[in-house]
Structure 1
């Protein structure tokens, strides 16, 4: 069942990162927070374009009605900062927040391995939503649980706002399925490209 929401929500996948360029999986805090796997130059440009687009699409609203929430990993945080600055929002502003619920899905033992391993995880997702990559990885159900928790918090604290969520590929595809009430096993059908901005829900 789709979530009943009272704010407008936009989702943005981080701009292209150095990990994307290297073709490796970076999902854990110890690897994703250092700048070594932050945005590439093209990723920064993607973030700039997304910020300009969102500013244009929100032009009829006062900035006080806009909030930005980001994953704590560097590639998402840098993306969120670039977009927020286009909106006139800065990291010291209460309208800019970093929340752990938006962090990348943990891919366990595939960490720092080839991104060709994503497909193995997605194949397992289709067969079993509780299946998690070995080595402390997260299942679809686990990611969906933290996404639902995030929306409960956002809905409790906000009404009639425009909220941007800056996150990662799998987290956002699972989030999309949760909000829309779509089958979780098909979450990858709702994946976003790097730097892609999309309206999730209009209040």
Structure 2
């Protein structure tokens, strides 16, 4: 699917759940602030925001005034990552996490979107957009606070 907008994917930073070596995947628990980012995760989120700001300055469109949307899953760790990354990059505050197809139909062409989510969600999206078998999504695994530009299969060779 060719994209009219530029997408960046960001896995949440190191969380307190990561440090406790527990999995928090229930939305009810995931929204709880006790599982937000660890101090190291906050630093990672800010660094990812600075990295995004640099990527936007060097963007392919050459338009510094492009609209930017920051979207996040509702978990406390992703919302905090999104807020810190957006602040560090000088962007608007985050919203909720819709589908890429919906964004493509709703946004002005040439927009930039930062999707902040979870490792499996992002690796499955990356696999699907690359034309790979989504059952093999672990090939596209994200490190905590890793920022990556989403490229559809047609752009993968670029």
Q: CA deviation at 1:15?
A: 0.3
Residue 84 (1) aligns with residue 34 (2): no
Unaligned runs of 5+ in 2: none
Taking only aligned residues, the RMSD between alpha carbons, in angstroms, comes to: 1.7
TM-score (ref. length: structure 1): 0.68
TM-score (ref. length: structure 2): 0.87
Counterpart of 1:151 in structure 2 is 100
> Does structure 2 conserve the Cα–Cα contact (< 8 Å) formed by 1:63 and 1:87?
no
Equivalences for residues 10-159 of structure 1 within 5 A: 10-59=8-57, 61-91=63-93, 96-99=94-97, 101=98, 150-158=99-107, 159=109
> Does structure 2 conserve the Cα–Cα contact (< 8 Å) formed by 1:63 and 1:88?
no
Counterpart of 1:200 in structure 2 is 150
Would you identify which runs of 4 or more consecutive aligned residues in structure 1 move more than 6 Å? none
CA distance in 2, matches of 1:13, 1:63: 25
The structure having more radius of gyration, on CA atoms, is 1
Unaligned runs of 5+ in 1: 102-149
> Does structure 1 conserve the Cα–Cα contact (< 8 Å) formed by 2:66 and 2:110?
no
Residue 178 (1) aligns with residue 124 (2): no
Task: Summarize deviations over 1:64-121 as a string: whole Å, max 9, x none.
Answer: 4221111110000000001111232343xxxx3122x5xxxxxxxxxxxxxxxxxxxx
Q: CA deviation at 1:29?
A: 1.3
